[in-house]
Amino acid sequence: MNRIKLTHFFTFYNRLGGVESLLKRHLASDSNWGLDSDLVAFFESALKDSPKTSGVGLTWRDSVLSARSGTRRCMEGKAPEVAVYHNFWGLPFLGDLDRASRRIALLHSGWPGMQHTLEAQRGLVDGVLCVSDVLERQVREWMPELPAERVKILPYPIADSPCKTVHAPLAGRPMVLGFSGRVVKAQKRIDRLPRLIAMLDRAGLDYRFEILGEGADQAWLHRRLGGNPRVRMHGRKSGDEYWKTLGGWDVILFTSDYEGLPISMLEAFSLGILPVYPRIDSGGDGYTTRVRPDLLYAPDDFEHVAEVLKALHSAPRETIDELRERARGLARAHQGDAYLRVFSEFTRQIVDLPRISASEFPVRPFYWSDCLPFGVMRRLFYRGFYRRNDGGFSRS
């Protein structure tokens, strides 16, 4: 098997998050599948403890100009056969610097304005991997130039829990609810948790609510919920401590505005934990309805959430056990080596197919938005992230 040199590109590496955990998995295991991988993390500095990584060192005060300068420096001496852009970040204004023979994008999540993002990448990639059927459908709709064999679903991987989990009957005890992920208002919408918990109190549910994770808004959340005796904030856990904490839950709740297919949901499923999830047209929607349709709720409809939880709490044990087994069954497809096997097979397939991504780029013209700090551009001129060397925002 010929070995392939591959460079992953993403914003971060050392933060808590599903994409970051997958990047660590890639760097640890890609070589077992014939891929010699390294990583360029745009918003990290030098990562001395990770020899396969390099950091551009950007902050939100940097701009496209400084990002191009830093990326050019990181790519000196490199000539990867394949460049993998996770969530497409930076590709429109950095693609001419990666020196790769093929480009693949790996979509981990949806987000507002997804159509504009995908249209801006047309002609820049040779293939796209998607972690859910919803994302695959959007790619096929908004990047119609890609033939069917160049777009594929990639099953998100989960590890096996090292801790044995046994759920006691719900009758006669508090139902243990949990939130797992980055404690931030953007995307994860942890600012909705106080309203959710207030509704559970009004509904008279006997419960305990646990929050597992850390993030920029955890101090805000602690001020709002820290005095509630039914709420416990664990902070960040890893290894056995993470699995032991997760395994103590009956239900995992999500309040997000957008997702791809949350890894925390799949990990919870593997332990027989039931989901309560918002209807946001993501991969998690379908997985939730396959456990039980009424576990999916309209965003902000916390009255429905309270009613469903009360119904679960009073349901016969046999009903709950059946739902837990459905969840475990959905998780099984994501255990083992399926993720890395599909990733490596798709990478080799793209290498064997003719190149269709741009290989020659015009000199990048002067754009005033290239001088804007990312933090300013994100608020005032988001389309600046899509400006390409060919003089437009997209090829569509």
Q: How far apart are CA 356 and CA 336, in angstroms?
A: 32
Query: Over 90: is that where the pLDDT of 27 sits?
Result: yes
Average pLDDT over residues 52-74: 95
**What is the pLDDT of the chain when averaged over all its residues?**
93
The answer to whether residues 230 and 206 touch, using CB atoms and an 8 Å cutoff, is no
Q: What local confidence, expressed as pLDDT, does residue 48 receive?
A: 65
The answer to whether residues 98 and 67 touch, using CB atoms and an 8 Å cutoff, is no
Query: Over 70: is that where the pLDDT of 394 sits?
Result: no
- pTM, entire model: 0.84
Q: How far apart are CA 72 and CA 52, in angstroms?
A: 17
Measured at the alpha carbon of residue 267, what is the angle toward residues 228 and 127, in degrees to the nearest 5?
A: 125
Quick: pLDDT tens for 120-150. 999 999 999 999 999 999 999 999 999 999 9
Average pLDDT over residues 358-363: 93
Query: Over 60: is that where the pLDDT of 55 sits?
Result: yes
The residues with which 6 forms a beta bridge, in sequence order, are: 37, 82
Average pLDDT over residues 271-297: 96
Query: Over 90: is that where the pLDDT of 18 sits?
Result: no
Query: Over 80: is that where the pLDDT of 117 sits?
Result: yes
How far CA 228 is from CA of 137, 198, 208, 222, 235, in Å, comes to 42, 10, 10, 10, 16
Dihedral angle of Cα 267, 170, 288, 214, to the nearest 10 degrees = -50
Q: How far apart are CA 66 and CA 195, in angstroms?
A: 42
Query: Over 70: is that where the pLDDT of 49 sits?
Result: no
Query: Over 80: is that where the pLDDT of 24 sits?
Result: yes
Query: Over 60: is that where the pLDDT of 305 sits?
Result: yes
Scanning the structure block, which residue is given the tokens 């096996």? 160
The answer to whether residues 11 and 43 touch, using CB atoms and an 8 Å cutoff, is yes
Split at pLDDT 50, 70, 90, the class of 51 is confident
